[in-house]
Amino acid sequence: MVNSPKTGNAGESKAKGRPRGRPRSFDRATALEKALMAFWEHGYEATSVSDLTRVMDIGAPSLYAAFGDKRSLFEEVVQEYGTRYGFFTERALAEEPTARAAVERTLREAAVQYTEPGHPHGCLVIHAAANCTTPEVEQSLRARRNANIAAFENRIKTDIATGELPPDTNAAALARHAGAMIQGMSQQARDGASRAELEALAEIAMAIWPRT
């Protein structure tokens, strides 16, 4: 049976009026910041794609088109976090003249950063690894934490070589002590410790450092 011209035109008009699928317009930087806050607050595993689309105010297709999958988005979030919030360790190591001064500054700045209002408390890189069952994510976060400890150890070894620290200083143990303090301060901040309490903790932590 052949369609009449009238029927054909009606079908054509309907097709022309059908809305085409178009990606929703949104500000990528704003969406990334919202994702960062979600991961920082809840961790990697507990933050679902539906949670992300809700807080970012975008649809799943837009999320995948702009950021890739959840893991790719998280990797970008971690990079953004390091640039905007977590750079104080690298900065202290680069700018302070000794390992002791760099670690002391790191701990004091951690006390400020981990309790600052306006964002979740603690450290995203530390907290996001809690209960993480995705091996690639867990390994990536662990590598970042271990890189900080290795940087402390290298700096301590340099100070031993120059006589700034005693020759019998255990560089590896001292570096791990610094890492443990940072990680512990992050958790205590999430548990409600104040800036003043964490600064007092930092002062006690530095009291064990050997002197020449």
Mean residue pLDDT of the chain comes to 89
- Domain CATH code at residue 150: 1.10.357.10
Answer whether residue 12 shows pLDDT above 60. Answer: no
Which domain covers residue 144, as residue numbers?
97-208
**175 vs 182: CA distance, rounded Å:** 11
In this structure, are 196 and 155 located in the same domain? yes
**Contact yes or no for 104/202 (Cβ under 8 A):** yes
- Tell me what pLDDT residue 18 has: 41
Please tell me which residue, 74 or 11, carries the higher pLDDT value. Answer: 74
Question: Mean pLDDT across the stretch 156-169?
Answer: 97
Answer whether residue 132 shows pLDDT above 90. Answer: no
Structure tokens at 33: 């910041």
In this structure, are 102 and 71 located in the same domain? no
pLDDT tens sequence across 26-42? 799 999 999 999 999 99
The total domain count for the chain is: 2
Answer whether residue 13 is part of any domain.
no
Helix axes 88-95, 99-113, angle to 10 degrees: 150
Answer whether residue 128 shows pLDDT above 70. Answer: yes
- Tell me what pLDDT residue 25 has: 67
**123 vs 144: CA distance, rounded Å:** 12
Answer whether residue 21 shows pLDDT above 90. Answer: no
Region of poorest pLDDT, from 37-51, 84-98, 125-139, 165-179: 125-139
In this structure, are 114 and 190 located in the same domain? yes
pTM for this entry:
0.83
In this structure, are 116 and 186 located in the same domain? yes
